[in-house]
Amino acid sequence: MLKCLVLVLLTSIWASSALVRVPLRRVRSIRTQLRARGLLNDFLRDHRPDMFNRRYSQCYPPGTPSLRLGRSAEKIYNFMDAQYYGQISLGTPEQNFSVVFDTGSADLWVPSTYCVSQACALHQRFRAFDSTSFHHDGRTFGIHYGSGHLLGVMARDTLKVGGLTALNQEFGESVYEPGSAFVMAKFDGVLGMGYPPLADILGNPVFDNMLAQKTLEQPLFSFYLSRRTSSGYPEGELLLGGIDEEKYTGPINWLPVTTKGYWQIQMDSVAVQGVSAICANGCQAIVDTGTSLIAGPTNDILKIQQLIGATPTTFGEFIIDCVRLSSLPHVTFVLGGTDYTLSAEQYVRKEMLGDRELCFSGFQAVDMVTAEGPLWILGDVFLTEYYSIFDRGQDRVGFATAKHPTKE
C-alpha cells in the first residue's frame, strides 16, 4: 500500500461569500496497483469486467418500491480508476475524509464507523456519536457495482470544504462495502457535483446546498488537473465559486448543457489525423472528472484504437508501442466549432511495470445509451489538457487550454 497522502487545503474566505481552493492529489489507479503486484489478471477473472465501467444506484425510504429506477439510475464510468481526490470534513468537531470530486454523480458518501467490511477498516470512518451537529435521516441506500455493492444509511451534518461550510448536508454512511476494489482505493468516499436529477432520491447535492446557503461568490466551479508535477503547480485543483485565470491560456469556449443531469454537452465530431469519420453528424458527451479515460460507443472506440495502432491485452486494456508515439495520429474533438486536439503523448498513459515502461491507450469502450443517443465521456485524459468550468448560473461548460509547467 502506498503511504497515506496528507492534503493541505488553501482557502480564501470572505464574510458573505467564498472562493475556495481545494488541492487535488493524483495517485496510482487501482488497475495500476493491481498490475504492479501481478494481480490484475486474477482480479479481472474473479470479477465481472463491468465492475470498472458502471455503477447503478438507488436510495429509498424503507418499504418504498423503486418506481424510478430506470430514470434515476446513476452511472459512474471507470470509477475505481478515479485518480484525483481532495479533502473534506464532516461533523462537529471536524472529521476529515478524502473524496473524489466527481462531476459524473451527485451524491456524497463516506464510510461509517459501523461498517463491517475490510475496505472500511482501511479508511477513515465517520463517527456519528462524536458529532454534536449530527442528524439521523432514517433512509437506507444501495450503490450497486458490477462485482458487488455498498449499502448504507442517510444522515445530515455540517460539511466543510476548505473554509467553506454547508449546514445540514445530506450524505450517505456506507456500512457494507464487499469486494476487494475498495480495499485498495486511496480515497474514502465520493462527493458528486452533477445536477440534482442524478441524486433526486438521495437529497440535495453538496453544490446545490452551497448555492441555497449563498456561500459562493459565483454559482460555478472549475477544475485544473495535471499529469505533470512542478514545485510551482499543484497536481490538481478544484476552485469553488470562481475561475482561476492563472491556470489557463487563451479564450474560454462555452458550451450549453443539453440535459441537466450529467454535465452533458453537444459534440460536433471526432477526427483522427484530421479525418472526421467518427461522430460525423454530432453526438452527446458528458464531462466527467470521475472518469480517468475518454470513453465512447464500442464501435467508435475500436475504430480509434485501430487507427492509433493500439492492440488488446489479456487484461482488457489496449497497449501501444512506446517507441512509436511520435508517429501516431492526433485525435481531435470538435466542441462548439472549436478543435480540441490531443497528441499521442497526451492520450497515452505511461506506466512502469518493474523496470519496463508500458504505454496504454487513453480510450475505453463504454456503451451508454440514452434517449438522445449514445454518450461519450470526456474524462481525465481530456481534462488534464483543458481547464474546465462548470457554470450552474447559466447552465454551461467552459473549456480553455490548461497552463502546464514545462517538464523539469
Out of 102, 137, 157, 268, the active site residue is 102
What are the Cα distances from residue 186, in Å, to 6, 51, 80? Answer: 11, 17, 10
Measuring CA to CA, which residue among 221, 157, 225 is closest to residue 195? 221
DSSP code for 94: T
- Residues 269, 342: Cα–Cα separation, whole Å: 14
The residue to which cell 495500476 is assigned: 32
Measuring CA to CA, which residue among 380, 388, 274 is closest to residue 333? 274
DSSP secondary structure, 325-365, as one string: GGGSPPEEEEETTEEEEE-HHHHEEEEEETTEEEEEESEEE
Does the annotation count 102 as an active-site position?
A: yes
The residue to which cell 470538435 is assigned: 334
Does the annotation count 200 as an active-site position?
A: no
Measuring CA to CA, which residue among 404, 265, 263, 247 is closest to residue 334? 265
- Residues 381, 309: Cα–Cα separation, whole Å: 18
Out of 81, 208, 268, 288, the active site residue is 288
The residue to which cell 464574510 is assigned: 15
List active site positions: 102, 288
